[in-house]
Amino acid sequence: MSRFFISPDELERGSCVLTGENADHAKVLRLRVGENVTVSDAMGRESSGTVVSVGQEYQIEFGAPVLSRSEPQCKVGLFLAYAKADKLEHVVQKATELGAASISFFPSVYCVSRPDAKGARAKVDRAKRICLSAAEQSGRGIIPEIRAFDSYQAALQAASEAERFLFLYEGERQLSLGRALADAKPKTLSLMSGPEGGFAEEEVAGAVSSGAEICTLGPRILRCETAPLCALTCALFALGEYDEY
């Protein structure tokens, strides 16, 4: 079923007219009168509706909003060291589908990609568009927040604000992500993943000082675009987010 994100005010009114990118999307989908669609306020509420007019404008009528069932109980923030554009965009798309609540970028010692302020804004804008499309496609009740930090320390500070902060490091040999979350039910969780060259030792030390738990994803070395998606999936599974529909 096609999904459109609209304003909270529109969701309360019970009807809306699709404009801008929503209208363009409707044209691509070739929506017809009588088709069922879902509308969401991107804040976790949604409603099932019906297309009542097409042509110059697409009007949709729908019932009272309800809480989306697609959102995890635990809000997981993913923190990604800058990587090459195609890798970063791949993670943004898939992390949105999997259920991330937010996705943040930050610079790291061994980053191959080092965007300046203008480049960082461009990456965020591009990521937001990818995120919106992925949220619509996967039936999300929210659009994950996209952020870019100008320093590693700023990213650490933001990540440490979650109830649990897990730092993914290939040099860890004791604590696995699964054991770190065994019997845990945090409401907020941060997962931090490194760049192509991994984290520098001083960055690991900084994470420990910020209260992070250093975790391993197992004996295999994962690519920078694989590790965060593996961690996000494992975390949500460990927290029981895939147990019910």
CATH of the domain at 50: 2.40.240.20
Gap between the Cα atoms of 167 and 170, Å rounded: 10
pLDDT of residue 13: 92
Assess if residue 243 is contained within a domain: no
Residues 89 and 143 grouped into a single domain: yes
Task: Give the pLDDT score at 245.
Answer: 63
Cβ neighbours of residue 239 under 8 Å, at least 6 residues apart?
72, 73, 74, 181, 184, 185, 186, 189
Predicted model pTM: 0.91
Q: Verify that 116 and 24 share a domain, yes or no.
A: no
Same domain, 88 and 198: yes
**CA gap 47, 5 in Å, rounded:** 11
Domain end among 67, 86, 119 = 67
CA 5 distance to own-chain centroid: 16
CA pair distance 27, 30, nearest whole angstrom = 5
β-bridge pairing 188-193 and 75-81? parallel
pLDDT per position in the chain (245 positions), as tens? 799 999 999 999 999 999 888 988 888 889 999 999 999 999 999 999 999 999 878 999 999 999 998 999 999 999 999 998 899 999 999 999 999 999 999 999 999 889 999 999 999 999 999 999 999 999 999 999 999 999 999 999 999 999 999 999 999 999 999 999 998 899 999 999 999 999 999 999 999 999 999 999 999 999 999 999 999 999 999 999 988 66
Domain assignment of residue 245, yes or no: no
Domain with 204, as residue range(s), is 75-238
What's the confidence (pLDDT) of residue 62? 93
- The count of domains in the chain is 2
Q: Which of 67, 89, 108 is the last residue of a domain?
A: 67
pLDDT value of position 205: 97
Q: Which of 42, 67, 92 is the last residue of a domain?
A: 67
Angle at 138 between CA 95 and CA 48, to 5 degrees: 145
Judge if 185 and 148 occupy the same domain: yes
